[in-house]
Structure 1
Amino acid sequence: MPELPEIHALVDDLGSRLVGRTVGRIDVLSFAALKTFDPPTSALGGKTITAVARHGKYLDIEIGELHLIMHLARAGWIRWRAEAPLPQKRPTAGALAARVVLDDGSGFDVTEAGSKKSLALSIVHDPAEVAGIARLGPDPLHPGFTEKRFAQILAASGRAQIKGVLRNQSVIAGIGNAYSDEILHTARMSPFKPAAMTEDEVSELFSALQSTLRGAIERSAGLAASELKREKKTAMQVHGRTGEECPVCGDVVRQVIFADSTLQYCPSCQTGGKVLADRVLSRLLK
C-alpha cells in the first residue's frame, strides 16, 4: 500500500509533469472506484491542472476549481503514459481503473491489482468533502507536529497498542502497515507496547518516526512513479522480510498474521528476545 513517503514522491513526480497542462478527458473504467457523481468527470475536461498535493495517503490533483482525489488503497498505483492510449476493447478489462488523458494525448493510468477492489476516486470542490480526509489526524511532517504534540497523542491513546496507534489515520495521517513496522524497529519497541510511555520512550519513538519517514522521502526524491515500489521494498529493514536476518542484530525477522494484514518485527531488537504468538489475539509466548 502506498504510504506517506510514496504519495509525497508521487506528488513531486506528477506535479512536474502535470501542473500547467490541460485535461482532455477522464475515463473511469472501474465504476465502483468513482465515489462521487456530482460534479461529473466531464466537468474536468478543458480545465488546467494548477497543483498536485497530498493529504495523508490521499493524492489531490487540483483541476481548475475542482479536485480529483485518489486513495490508492492496498494495490492501486499510477502509471504515466507519454503517448495517447489505445482504445479499450472491454470497459472493465484488467487492472485499469481510470485514465486521465491530457490535451496532447499523454497522461496517466490509475490501476489496481488483485480481486479485492478498494481504490477510491472522488471529484469535489473541497478536499474536506471526502470523509476520509475530513477525519485525518495531524501530518507527522508538518512543522506543528512536535515531540510535545506527539506525546499528547500517545498519552490520549492510553493502553492502546502502539502499532495500531501509528496506523490509525484519525490519530496520525499517512503511516501504514509497512512504515509503522519500520518505525518501531528503529525505536526498538514491541508493536504491542502500550501507547502511554515514558518521556524517554516518547523521544526515542518520535526520533524514529521522523528519521524513518524523512529518510524514505530523501531516498525517493527524483524517482519516477515506476521506480517507487522497488525503492520502498528494497529499503525495508523488517517489513516484508519474514525469515530473513535482521540487518541490525542478525536475529530472524518474525511475523504476526492478523485477519487482513501482517506485521514483522525482530525479537532481539524489539521484544527482549521473546517471540510473539502468531495468532489473531497475539500475546507474548509464556
Structure 2
Amino acid sequence: MASAKEIPPGGEGKIEATLRTGARGGKTSKTITVTTNDPAQKTIQLKISAEVQIALALEPYLINFGRFKKDEIPVRYVSVIGDDKDSTKILSAEPKDKNIKVEINHKGFENNKDNRIKISVLPNMKVGQFRDVIAVTTDHKTSKNLNISVFGEVVGDIMVSPRSFSFGYFERGKAPEKIVTLKANPPATFKVLKAESTAPEVLVEKVTVKEGSEYQIKARIKDDFDKDFLRGNIVITTDNTEQPTIEIMYFGRVQKAQATTPGPQGTSISVPAMTSVPPSP
C-alpha cells in the first residue's frame, strides 16, 4: 500500500508490503511492480526478501500415498519442525475417513523423535482415488490447529488410465477422440460388459486389445453437437466383483468463432473469443 497517490517533484513516499509466508521457512523473496505516470520509467520492480523462522509446523503437510494394491498397508510419517517443536505437545490428530489410521507418539517413530505422527491406509479403503484431511491440535500458544492433506489411489484388479479427461477447446464437428485404457492387475482377469456415456452427445466404443486383460474405451463427440459446454461420465460395467462399475469424468467446451473488427483501409482483424474451461473437480 502506497503512502500517497501522488508524490510531488523532489518528494518521497513509502510503500508498505505484507509478506505471507504460509507454512514454509527459509529464504523467500517476492517482487512488487509499481506503475507510475513517469514516461521515462513507467514501471519499477521492487524485490523484497526475508529469512522466515518457523515456530511450529508439520512436514510434510501434503502426503501422496501414490498408487498401491488393495492388500497393501502403506505408511507415512509426519515430523514436527520449528523452534518450538521440543516444547510443544500434539494433543490429537483426527482423520475424517475411518479407513485412514493416525497414531501419535511423543517419543517419535522409527527412532526419530521428530516423527510424531504415523499415518496408514487400512485394507478396507475402497478401490479408487481417495482424499482426506487430518486435523491436528497442539498445545502451542499460536499454532493450535494444523492440517495434513493426504491422497492416493487404491489399485484393484483393474487399472484405469486416465481417471478423467478433457476434450479441451474444440471446433464443432472436429472434437478429438479420447481413449481410456483398462488393464488387469495380474494375476486377475476381467471382461468389460458395456460402456455408456451419461451425456447422449458423446459416443463410446469398446475395443478389446487382449481378451480378459486389456480393453480400450474410445470416446468422441457427435458432429451435430449444438451446445457450448459438455460435461458427463463414461460408465463402464465389468464382470469384476470388486470393481463392477467404473466411472470416468469428462468435460470440454466449444471454441467460439473469432470476432471480426474493422481494420485500416477496409481490412478486418480477427480477434479470438476468450472462454474458460472449469477445472476437474
Question: Shorter-chain TM-score category?
Answer: under 0.3
**Alignment TM-score, normalising by the size of structure 2:** 0.25
Report which of the two has the higher share of strand.
Answer: 2
**Alignment TM-score, normalising by the size of structure 1:** 0.25
Report which of the two has the higher share of helix.
Answer: 1
Larger Rg: 2
Structure scoring higher RCO (CA < 8 A, sep ≥ 6) equals: 1
